[in-house]
Chains A and B, each alone.
Chain A
Amino acid sequence: MDELRVVGKSVERKDGRIKVSGKARYAADLSAPGMLHGKILRSPLAHAKILNIDTRKAEALPGVMAVVTGKDFPNKPYGVRPDTRDQLPMPITKVHHFGEGVAAVAAVDEDTAEDALDLIKVDYEELPVVLTAEDALKPDAPPVNEFKESNLAYFSDFNFGDVESGFKEADYIREETFSSQRVTVGFIEPHACLAEVDPTGRILLQGSKQSPYITWRNMCRGLGIPLSKMRIVNPFVGGAFSGKHDPFDVDFAAVKLAQKTGRPVKIVLNYDEVLAAYRQRNAMNARLRLGVKKNGAITALDAECVLEGGPICGIGPFNIYYFGAFLNIPYKIPAIKYHGELVYSNRAPCGTVRGQEVVLAQFALDSLLHMMGEDIGVDPVEIRTVNAVTDNWTTANGIVVDVSGLSRCIEKSAEIIRWKESRKSRPKGRGIGFSCASHPSGPRLGGHFGSTVTLKLVEDGKIIVTHGGTEIGQGCNTVFCQMVAEVLGLPIEDVEQGVSDSDTTIFDSGMFGDRCTFWDGNASILAATDLKKQLADIAAKLLEANPDDLEFKEKRIFVKGNPEKGIDFLLAVRKAYYEEGKPLYGRGYWAATDIDIVDWKTGRGNLAHGLDFIATAIELEVDRETGKVTLLKSAHGDDAGQPINPLMLDGQVLGGSTHLMGHALMEESHYDENAQALNYSWRDYKQPTSMDVPLETIVEHIHTHDPYGPFGAKGAGEASSCSTLAAIANGIYDAVGIRIKDLPITPEKILLALKEKKEGS
């Protein structure tokens, strides 16, 4: 391969300067002439019938322009799958969780809208609540969702390989249970949007959305309008981490209020509202039984998980599917039996968080693997190396792993963290934990699933990129510009990112599962190649050369091996516009049509390309007096294929890991016995800050070349979130010899376990 000039370089983020200087315009910064301000009235109860909502006094308040409730929308549920639709724009007959929006007001200013909320009278009939998964599945449990008879929202049973034989072959078998708590998603920007309706009735929504396509489709269904009647433009988005796929009451209410008033309506939530009433990660209870040979090689796995997901199914079926189907990576497991359940409750609705439920599966699996290694005397590094998937490995459910750098990742992380040296001598209370993980670069859903990129080559020689992905902070706008610049031999400065607008952009099916760089990256290359061909045809005529013999480099087009025989890039552009009257557009689309569509029933198939791998090692210290865990150093051996932008890739790896450090040690959304949220402010909900993360963090990129990835790249950013929980749990065990299997691992739990250990000995 020729030397890369832009790809593989840590060029400056396209959006970096305007973001850090406060100039980027997010949804809350938008305004429009005549704009009204919206506020949402929230339920003080977690489960209750709505007997009546009296909005007359609020509507009569001067400055109030409209009030909406659930009855203003068609009673048409929406959701991820046609058989699991159970959400309405706003509730009509009952509320399902604390803080659920029951009415919304549009007024001339925020204060008036807020005052109007106090004038809305809602009559409730309180219902018993379902708080936990155990409660939900009791025979006499009250049904949570009016579209479902039972609180079992979804389930799956997968069987891969011969599990019975696998356990018979095992030299050692151990079974353990693990649990994980409710956590918030953790993006910085609260939900916000601006809705407008033009004189023809066409809606424009500018919101903080992770996957505008998902929002668009679900909103049109929930509003009962065709797709062509709604336009979505994405402003800057302040993080999403899977918490902004769906449309929310914020979006629906803003649109309905705009329709009612004929004026633009903006709604901006505060973060207390987000913490109380919007997407969280499921609480999990899991049981794993694992069989291994004497050398630690896994022979079979039997796993069960129950996810408590609040009152909606949402993307829960994906969570159940991901947990089970991707137990097949990062380790070679010849046989797996899996049962997963999603249950309703009256806590806040769940989606997922970075890494999806691979995060939870890997916490359980990698903790158990470590425990069993300890039992049979196999070193933590060795046991992971023995089981690590390798190139061209086909998993028990049929996933083909084309390229795996996992063994080298393990080796690197152990080397950086100085594992061998630590076994000889280490300070008291210090330990090192390992975990591995893998994440696919996007699944193939039925329906619309491809990625599209369009390039417009302006007559000044600069390129505007529009793509169907969403820049949610992960850096996709920059890496696509890098790829385009690389193909066309231009400096990165000559490629700019355009606006994501449903009128001009073919939206991606969604920004999830590490798919953006992989899928849209390939589409970017194809779009640039399309443009290159058009320019080569023009230049070839001028140069009396074969278009296929032309090379694009440093803003010139020339005959390969003869740089003098060439023209400036800009001259070819001008030739197109000024002499041929030809606009220059490049179009590219890419879809992994050779992988299998998600099989919800069996979990089988070649489900994804571009499996990225990581081995995480974390050194930490446990204070035996206070139970406090201090994270000292993290070392990640990371295989994301060819790094497109190494610095941003570091950020993705470290971001994913840091995000889950809070999950491991401190974060938890608490509820009382009436399912009232207790800690829905930043004063009470603890997330890690810069003071809580390791002072020393090292990412070592293991360069592999994925045969399907753009320039050989794989997805990135989610695997490190999947490897962090178990690395910390394993590190705490290594430090003080206690095994805590229910997250978060708080100082209180550590002190209790230390006390029990002392008393037991």
Chain B
Amino acid sequence: MKIFIESNFVVPGLEDEAGLEIDQPEITLREFLEKLSSMSPDRVEYVEPGAQALDPSDWEVEINGLPYQDYEAGLEHLIKDGDSVTIRIVALGGG
């Protein structure tokens, strides 16, 4: 299946791709983000190990335009073929 990705930053490991092909019919958001992490050369940590939620001061994540928190299962929500995941970075600091 293919999951589409929108972001306000270049997702490490997916520099020229608008989405990710996955060899399974469905995947939880947590697994999907962990997969992204494993694809990035420096293991960008989207989900802290054992955390029940993303750190909102680091990441804003939506599934098909809705904040992932709005889905009952949260990080365990199942993403399906054709779904779109939006990941936005929250930065801290400026010049």
Contacts and interface: CB of A to CB of B under 8 A. Distances in A.
A632 interface: no
A601 B95 contact: no
Contacts of A211: 93-94
B95 A598 contact: no
A318 B94 CA distance: 6
Interface in B57-90: 57-60, 88-90
Contacts of A509: 92, 94
Given A82-B45, A82-B89, A242 B95 contact: yes
16 contacts: A80-B91, A80-B93, A81-B89, A83-B12, A149-B41, A317-B91, A322-B95, A446-B8, A447-B90, A447-B92, A509-B94, A510-B93, A513-B95, A597-B8, A598-B8, A600-B10
Given A82-B44, A82-B45, A147-B42, A600 B8 contact: yes
Given A82-B59, A600-B10, A601-B10, A443 B41 contact: no
Contacts of B57: 217, 447-448
Contact of B94 (A150, A155, A218, A445): A445
Contacts of B60: 446
A318 B95 CA distance: 7
A436 interface: no
A599 interface: yes
Interface stretch (A174-182, A189-197, A349-357, A362-370): A349-357
B75 to A, nearest CB: 16
B95 A83 contact: no
A351 B7 CA distance: 25
A606 to B, nearest CB: 14
Interface in A405-449: 443, 445-448
Contact of B89 (A155, A214, A356, A446): A446
Nearest to A359: B95
A620 B89 CA distance: 46
Nearest to B40: A83
B8 A599 contact: yes
Contacts of A448: 57
Interface string B2-13: 000001111010
Contact of A245 (B40, B41, B93): B93
Interface in A119-161: 147-150, 155-156
Nearest to A227: B57
Given A149-B41, A446-B88, A601 B93 contact: no
Contacts of B90: 82, 445-447
Contact of B93 (A147, A156, A246, A322): A246
Given A82-B46, A217-B92, 10 more contacts: A82-B90, A147-B42, A148-B42, A318-B94, A322-B95, A445-B92, A446-B60, A509-B94, A600-B89, A601-B9
A706 B8 CA distance: 29
A149 B42 contact: yes
Contacts of B55: 82
A357 B95 CA distance: 9
Interface string B34-57: 000000111011100000000101
Contacts of A357: 95
Interface in A615-668: none
A357 B89 CA distance: 21
B42 A218 contact: no
Interface residues of B, number: 24
A550 to B, nearest CB: 40
A315 B95 CA distance: 7
A98 interface: no
A513 B89 contact: no
Contacts, number: 91
A246 B92 CA distance: 10
Contact of B91 (A150, A155, A446): A446
A600 B9 contact: yes
Contacts of B95: 242, 315, 318-319, 322, 351-352, 356-357, 512-513
A512 B94 contact: yes
A484 B89 CA distance: 36
B60 to A, nearest CB: 6
B89 A83 contact: yes
Contacts of B7: 601
Contacts of B59: 82
A351 B95 CA distance: 7
A510 B91 CA distance: 11
B91 to A, nearest CB: 5
Contacts of A513: 94-95
Contacts of B12: 83
A81 B41 contact: no
A78 to B, nearest CB: 9
Nearest to B41: A149
Contacts of B42: 147-149
Nearest to A515: B94
Nearest to B12: A83
B88 A214 contact: no
B92 to A, nearest CB: 5
Contacts of A155: 10
B92 A214 contact: yes
A369 to B, nearest CB: 24
A150 B41 contact: yes
A352 B57 CA distance: 23
A82 B57 CA distance: 9
Closest 10 CB pairs of A and B: A356-B95, A512-B94, A446-B90, A447-B90, A82-B58, A352-B95, A600-B9, A80-B93, A83-B44, A214-B93
Nearest to B54: A82
Contacts of A148: 41-42
A148 B41 CA distance: 8
Contact of A597 (B10, B88, B94): B88
A598 B9 CA distance: 9
A422 B28 CA distance: 71
A217 B91 CA distance: 11
A695 B29 CA distance: 64
B34 to A, nearest CB: 15
B91 A81 contact: yes
A682 to B, nearest CB: 25
A445 B91 contact: yes
Which of A83, A356, A357, A509 has the most CB atoms of chain B within a 10 A radius of its CB?
A: A83
A80 B41 CA distance: 19
Interface in B5-30: 7-10, 12
A448 B8 CA distance: 17
A211 B59 CA distance: 21
Nearest to B46: A82
Contacts of A246: 93
Interface in A61-93: 80-83
Contacts of A214: 92-93
A510 B95 CA distance: 9
A282 to B, nearest CB: 11
B92 A601 contact: no
A385 B22 CA distance: 55
B94 A83 contact: no
Nearest to B58: A82
Given A147-B42, A149-B41, A80 B92 contact: yes
A148 B12 CA distance: 12
B70 to A, nearest CB: 18
A443 B94 contact: yes
Given A82-B59, A447-B57, A510 B44 contact: no
A161 to B, nearest CB: 21
Nearest to B8: A599
Nearest to B89: A81
B12 to A, nearest CB: 6
Which of B45, B58, B95 has the most CB atoms of chain A within a 10 A radius of its CB?
A: B95
